[in-house]
Amino acid sequence: MYISSLSLRNFRNFKNAKFHFSNGINTIIGENGAGKTNLFYALRILIDDTLPRYVKLYSTDFTRSLGNWSGHWIIISLFFDNLDASEEAQALAVQSSGHMNSSKNGSYSVYFRPKYQIRKELYDYSQTAGKNATDLQLFLDKITLDDYETVYLSRGSGDFAEDTVYKKFVGNFDTIEFPNPDDKEELTIGTWLPKEINIHNELSCTFIKALRDVESDLKSYSNNPLINLLRGKEKTVEVAKQDEIIKSIDKLNDQISSLDEVVEVKQGIDRSIKEAVGTTYAPNIDIQSELPNEMAKLFQSLKLWVGDPDEEGYKGRIWELSLGGANMIYLSLKLLEYEKVRTDRIANFLLIEEPEAHIHTHVQKTLFNSLKENKTQVIISTHSTHISSVSKISSVNILSRGNKEALVFQPSNKLDPDEITRVERYLDAVRSNLLFAKGVILVEGDAEQILIPELFKKVFGLSLDEIGVSLVNIGSTGFENIARIFHPHRIKKHCAILTDLDKSIVTLPTDASHDNDYQKHCRASETNGASRKTQLTDFCNGNPFVKPFYAKHTFEVDLLMNENSYEFVQSLNQIYTNQANITKAKTKLEDASVDVAGVEVLRIADKKGKGWLALIVAEQLLYNTYIPDYILKAIAFASPHINISSKVKSIIHRWNSMKANGHDDNQDEAKKFKIKGKSEAELIAEFCATFPDDQLTKFISYL
């Protein structure tokens, strides 16, 4: 039995969210504040026996996106798969037309809802002819938390993350339609569990929070997994060995008690008491060693001694280890406990919050790869790219911050196994950062990876990281392998593809048979570029979250030909030592024709390496370096989420840069332009109106 999905309605930052899980190990990826902790709390409300049986919820537990929470329900539903035939598991089994048939699918839900009387009044009002929004609101305003109840039900089939289900069985507040609470609707909402079954007692759940104090847990009698692993083992020790050990302990107790030092202290205490209260009333005093002489208690007294791997031969107490080391030991013991001891439970769950908080990179990856999948379902939250890079995307849920609510994406939804495999091959620790981004740009190679972030930073005073955009070097033109995960069915974030059309930079003969070797190369590249455009157009068709953007020729050529010869010319001193070569290259790079300047920049790039050339040119970028239009549009497409504060920061950067540059045509206008005394919206509007040809104005228009 394992959790197949979790449905959340109106709980904290989840308005209507659905998580999908697989048997074994699952990963929750999300930025800070996306709701990972809220997700774990929702799970724990239903399966963690360390929380109160009836968790008290408050008005602040309703999602803020509701506006007015009165009358609404908070619903948390777990759906299970692979239920066995036991009575406890079948108590969760989803009903089919009221008939139980050893179902392998089950559910368990908590409803925080208005009490029967309130629901009845809402229904009655919805049946009146003169119902209206104003009177409904007056009624809702009178509802308090005292009018709410918390109920736990099982066997329900309804997924209340679906708006149609919620409106039908909870109510439609817009059309003022509410269901009759006398219609039990048990098939959808669920039924009460049998009194003799307490789900908390039938499940094992351990929550390991980010900075858990595992030292205290390992000292605890009830929470210590070492004690749980040892419990009952005393019964398997041979009787002869037990007798031998117990006799040895009894003898040792006598030896300790009869030590001269112990006897002296005992006599001193005895004498002191008799002097204080007299011999008639003084109790008899003795000091006895009480090392346990029962096998069960002896096993309970065993402690774990540990040592760091680089201190061979030394072992100490658990608190001498680092926090990360202690957590690794605790986690390993807990998994072993679930595998070996808790075999009578219908399911075991291990919830691990951000293991990267105290476990370093290599251990994260090793730990994740080594976790067993037999009897324990593991759910890990992380914002570590190292953990996400070894995660199977079929077991990944991605959390993202939306407008007053969390968004949940499953990157493998509706992909076939081969497509999933190809995506997973690409998601190394570097590329997997795209799973955390608000927007993504895919590029062909090193030059784009190096120069585009620097271009954006120099020109706009913002980093791509700052606006939540990941630029990912695919290392080829096989963009589809990654881009396919950005889709209405999967990750609903914008992904821009930057690639080259490779249009020939030299004039080609009408008859291809007259091509020289260089022209043949250019013609082949042009043909491949056209084919790639057709392929990408078909791939992106109908998908609003992926869009290709093309350099007319190649990245280096298009960057140069957009009035950026200065940056390339300034780099020549680091490329050549001979002045004649520098002068010759400078003349060609400053030529206005692409068949001269374009050929020269590609010659240098091929000679020195595109990545190396990009590193040198990046050092020469200025605030007024021109970003090619196709790149500007791609960044804008990937960042529709960019906020007003980022735009204002960029305006101030552009404004200061214009004022400081005596060669800028906009310097006089920039000195007249006023920043203070304007709202952010006014500042943006006036900047765009004052500097209509500025790159920032163009970028804002593309957003």
Q: How many whole angstroms from its chain centre is CA 623?
A: 35
| DSSP assignment of 639-693 | -TT--HHHHHHHHHHHHHHHHH-TT-TTHHHHHH---TT--HHHHHHHHHHH-TT
CB within 8 Å of 23: residues ≥ 6 apart:
2, 81, 82, 373, 377
| Other CB atoms within 10 A of residue 255 CB | 11
The pLDDT value given to residue 305 = 64
Region 615-625: what's the mean pLDDT? 96
**pLDDT > 90: percent of the chain:** 60
From the list 113, 107, 110, the residue with the least C-alpha distance to 169 is 113
- Residue 586: which pLDDT band, with cuts at 50, 70 and 90? very high
Residue 536 has pLDDT above 70, yes or no: yes
Strands 25-30 and 305-306 come out as unpaired
Q: With 70 as the cut, is the pLDDT of residue 100 above it?
A: no
Residue of 548 and 345 predicted with greater confidence: 548
Residue 321 has pLDDT above 60, yes or no: no
Identity of residue 342: R
pLDDT at 219: 63
Which of the four pLDDT bands, split at 50, 70 and 90, describes residue 120? very high
CA distances from 53 to 56, 93, 112, 200 (A): 9, 21, 14, 8
> Per residue in 654-680, pLDDT tens?
999 999 998 888 999 999 999 998 999
Section 173-181 average pLDDT = 97
Sheet holding 14-20, edge to edge: 14-20, 2-11, 74-81, 106-114, 148-154
The pLDDT score that the predictor gives to residue 413 is 94
Judge whether residue 543 has pLDDT over 70. yes
The Cα–Cα gap between 518 and 299 comes to: 81
Closest to 169 measured CA to CA, from 72, 260, 311 = 72
Question: Would you state the structure tokens that stand for residue 73, as one six-digit string?
Answer: 């329900």
Q: How many CB atoms within 10 Å of residue 682? A: 10
Q: Name residue, tokens 């379902």.
A: 377
Q: 11 - beta bridge partners?
A: 14, 62
Q: Where are the alpha helices (DSSP H) in 427-490?
A: 446-460, 480-483
Higher model confidence: residue 575 or residue 327? 575
Q: Calculate the average pLDDT of the chain.
A: 87
> Phi and psi for 412 in degrees, rounded to 5?
-100, 0
Per residue in 589-614, pLDDT (tens digit) is 999 999 999 999 999 999 889 999 99
- Per-residue pLDDT of 255-277, as tens digits, reads 988 989 888 888 888 888 777 77
Could you give the residue ranges of the DSSP H alpha helices within 3-86?
Answer: 36-47
pTM score, whole prediction? 0.80
Between the alpha carbon of residue 420 and those of residues 26, 475, 494, the distances in Å are: 16, 19, 20
Burial class (CB in 10 A: 0-12, 13-18, 19+), 674: exposed
Cα-based angle 466, 469, 473 (whole degrees, multiple of 5) = 125
